[in-house]
Amino acid sequence: MTIGAYIRVSTQDQKHDAQRREISRWLKGHGHDLKAVRWFADTETGAHMKRDGLGELNSAVFAGEIKTVVIWKLDRVARSHREGINQLYDWCDAGVRVVSVTQEIDLSGKMAKVIAGVMFGLADIELSAIRERQAAGIAAAKERGVYSGRKKGTLKANPERARALQAQGRKPGEIMKALGIRSRSTLAKYLSEE
């Protein structure tokens, strides 16, 4: 029985190392052979579910290749309560055990869905709080006259990533969501840059 380890960071400047180390430590501590672990990784926001690594993990789960999913923390799977719960229900319905290493949660029994619901709810609240604090900070900086937005010439996202997603056959809306871009004209500029 193969274990699937899922790790995710939100931006290109972040590394998967800490998550990989903690999951490996948990696996070794529970007697699992690291050679039998399949790693699935993403470097993009958890605000949406269309991610390459997660898609590959789901394909392996539903093909019956993975019976245990080990994650660093539940919010690595999803930041949205609804999407996180739906993902977890899909895994539980497929008979998959889900272990969250840092939260010390083993979601394999009847209470798994209830516990995960609470945890994903907290992740959803945390994301909303981050956005509220960011908006409040920007508003205060504008009032003080010290905030003028992003400097001209800087980019919110990576144009190379936009082109890579397009090459994978992703639709413009999916690319915009993956990169946090709100304007189709910005996306068009990213896709046309060389």
**pLDDT per residue as tens digits for the range 93-145:** 888 999 999 988 887 766 666 776 777 677 778 777 888 888 898 888 888 88
Residue 133 lies in a domain: no
Residue 187 lies in a domain: yes
pTM: 0.62
Distances, alpha carbon 83 to alpha carbons 70, 72, 78, 120, 172, in Å = 18, 18, 6, 9, 21
Whether residue 153 has pLDDT greater than 60: no
Residue 154 lies in a domain: no
Q: Decide: 18 and 66 in contact? Cβ < 8 Å.
A: no
Residue 124 lies in a domain: no
Residue 130 CB-density burial (10 A; 0-12 exposed, 13-18 middle, 19+ buried): exposed
In this prediction, residue 150 carries a pLDDT of 67
Q: How far apart are CA 180 and CA 183, in angstroms?
A: 9
Residue 59 lies in a domain: yes
Question: Average pLDDT of 28-41?
Answer: 93
Among this protein's residues, is 192 annotated catalytic?
Answer: no
Residue from 10, 80, 100, 185 carrying the catalytic annotation: 10
What are the pLDDT digits (tens) for 68-107? 999 998 889 887 777 887 888 888 888 899 999 998 888 7
Q: Are residues 84 and 171 in the same domain?
A: no
